[in-house]
Structure 1
Amino acid sequence: MGSLNYSTLVINDDSRAVNRITEIASALGESVAVVDCRESFLGVYTPEVRCIVLELSMPSFCGVEVIRFLAETNCRAALVLTTDMSPDLLRLAGKLATALGLAVADSLQAPYEQECLQSALITATDPAAVARLRPQPADPVAMGAATVRGGR
């Protein structure tokens, strides 16, 4: 596999959100790739990515489907889950991701404050923090690990 050209993958179809995420991630020294559909995602995804910011509620792309794919490919990236839909969707997606062995750095309910996003990205790009987030295979507490932040 070739050298990875980005460290953070943003899966979102909202240009304003993408701009905010990209600006903050870049300020933290991350290189960013952005996708807004399944075909683009499959074309750029690699297990080498460090952070994935996933919008769960895009019309053309199911966030839960992405979570399952990431688990099936043994993704090691930390996830930052976002949505402007129900907080219940965010909680359940976080629980699913954790149960499937993925590291969920944060779950943000839109609209979220810039400081919340920055904090989530700092956590998601810190290897030591991500190691602590990753659930152990027999960890029954992992099912309740997801929390929701943001929202006004």
Structure 2
Amino acid sequence: MAGLGFVSGFFGTKAVATPVDAPRATCGAAAPMTMMRHGVRGRKLNKPADQRKAMLRALTTELIRHGSITTTLARCKEVRKTADHMITLAKDNSLHARRQALAYIYDKELVSALFDGVPERYADRNGGYTRVQRTMPRKGDNAPMGQISLV
């Protein structure tokens, strides 16, 4: 059914026929639009990038120094990636790998100890050098806690 509309132009207003009940183009059911997350990795941990990097470096350094640390579960899962990478670098035992580890780990003597002790400790293991275990939630805010330890 066509209706009557008005269009104002350069020469004044004139009446034109406009479609009133024009069919709309639809494609199936009206489903909500969801976006895909291709290549999105890692957690932001509610910190800016520089603070997040410094925190993960400090946690990785302390994990290698003490062998086990307790922190929130999300932080444990992020530290697991970097700690496994540092141990893989130590197993490689090249000068380039040592310099990469020195650029990430804060303590120079700790890097030397890591490169001296790791190759025989993890010689038969290809990855999975750390273990993350859930612990009791934190008292103050009930945040999920975890303990990460070297295997």
Q: TM-score range by the shorter chain?
A: under 0.3
Q: TM-score, normalised by structure 1?
A: 0.25
Larger radius of gyration: 2
